[in-house]
Amino acid sequence: MEIALNFLMRRLATQYLRGSGISRARFRYSQQYPTRLFHASPVVQKVVPFMLADIGEGITQCQVVQWFVEPGSQVEQFDPICEVQSDKASVEITSRFGGVIKSLHYAVDDMAIVGKALVDIDVDDAISLDDAGSISQQPGSDKSEQLAKDDLTSMEESLQRQDTEQSQQVHPDTKEIPSASPEAALSTSRKGAAIATPAIRHLLRKLQLDIHDIIGTGKDGRVKKEDIDAYISSFGASEDSQRAAQPPHATMDSSHGDKVVNLTNTEKQMFAVMTESLSIPHFLYSNTIDTTNVEYTRKAIIDQKHLSPLFKTGATASRITMLPFVLKAISQAFNSYPRLNAHLDLKNNPAKPQLTMKASHNFGIAVDTPQGLLVPVVKDVQNHSVLSLAAEIGRLNSLAQVGKLAPTDFKGATFTVSNIGSIGGGVVSPVIVGPQVAIVGLGRTRWVPGFHTNAAGEEIVVKKPELTLNWSADHRILDGATTARCAEFVRAFLENPATLSLLLR
């Protein structure tokens, strides 16, 4: 009776499992091991992907500059994982979890996608459900279904191991397949993850050497600086021997002195941004400004030493240049011509473009640095005085020169000012960076002869300073008349700087 009852229960269970789509492997597993078929909470995988978060406004991808970890590295929470370069700045990415790095999803110089996995981390402890909810899944996947598939795969692998063990017991004379030759193993291992410190990897990139071409003599094959020096020395000796074997009167190629160089990260980002700007039809407008009164005001501030308590931290009288006056004049003009301080939205619906008038006057200022052209942002110019603008410009310029600008220093620009005149030149043709719709380039202030009426009513020739403002406007949004009127508004402010104080709030 008991045998018949067990047989009947097995038949009913088999029919149920077949009807519910559960594989025979899972059923066999349940017959060999006692199993509880209910769960109080979903299972969270221990290996989790670490996603690249948004590091700046509108940035969808960035370049991997260097890795600080490799597969097998132990990391703690907030340890640096890698350095990435966007079109604005270089940012160090830190880990959200503690554990062991399982795999890297990008190589150095690859473009990493925001929202996609950077690395896979085998976390030390079980993560909370809140953390698990923040781990992005591929579009269209279902977490519970994936976990069920993982459980089933684990069961089937266990059954396969059992079958293998039984097969080995039945055929004990079966010999193990010999491994590959040592040379092949060495070749395979040399193409795997090489061991080196971040400083050594940085040196290799600077020298444009492949780490896999260098034999490491350190512990576990770690590449050291001495190994790099030895490799370079051997490479130089090989070149000398090749030159000695050449005929004494060999004809030299005309391109013998050519040198191919890779673009820097900043140059690559500039290349991408400027390529997008090719689709913008530029309307150009230039006007010259007599800056006699502004220069008089600026020098008066410098000479008045007792005004130093009015300067904010980081500003001095000697730092009061023409630029803060120009920024303030443009901000005042934008109160009357707000279309120049706007963003053009073509992404949501290209067939129906929209223009967003920006309430804040956030002006990007182009800065020439050893790393290349950077454009930090002076925020809320409309709320600044000329003195506080000078202090903020000084702060951003100092940080830019040493590469210490934060990602927030590049966000939110509504208009750009290029002070190319600090290097030279008078007339330029600045390029608009979308989604902005306008930009202005400042030429160098130069002394020119001009007419002046003296107290006696006589016209005399005098020397006066003159500044050229070069405007570019998106002709799809701004017509020439609007751009010219705004430019002349700015000219009126700068030629009569006292009016600026009358309009300050």
Active-site residue 479, yes or no? yes
Query: For residue 105, which amino acid is it?
Result: H
SS3 342: strand
In angstroms, the CA 48 to CA 45 distance is: 7
Q: Quick check: 222 and 196 in contact, CB under 8 A?
A: yes
Active-site residue 229, yes or no? no
Hey, what are 291's tokens? 């800056």
Which member of 105, 202, 343, 475 is catalytic?
475
Q: At what angle are helices 225-245 and 198-207 packed, to 10 degrees? A: 20
Which member of 54, 110, 142, 479 is catalytic?
479
Q: Quick check: 316 and 409 in contact, CB under 8 A?
A: no
Other CB atoms within 10 Å distance of the CB of residue 147? 15
Virtual torsion, Cα 9, 15, 18, 23, nearest 10 deg: 20
CA 190 to chain centre: 31
Number of H-type helices and E-type strands within the chain = 13, 18
10: alpha, beta or left? (left if phi > 0; alpha if psi -120 to 50): alpha
In angstroms, the CA 446 to CA 142 distance is: 67
> Which residues 6+ apart lie within 8 Å of 354 measured at CB?
344, 345, 348
Match 């684990």 to its residue by tokens: 154
Return the active site residues: 475, 479
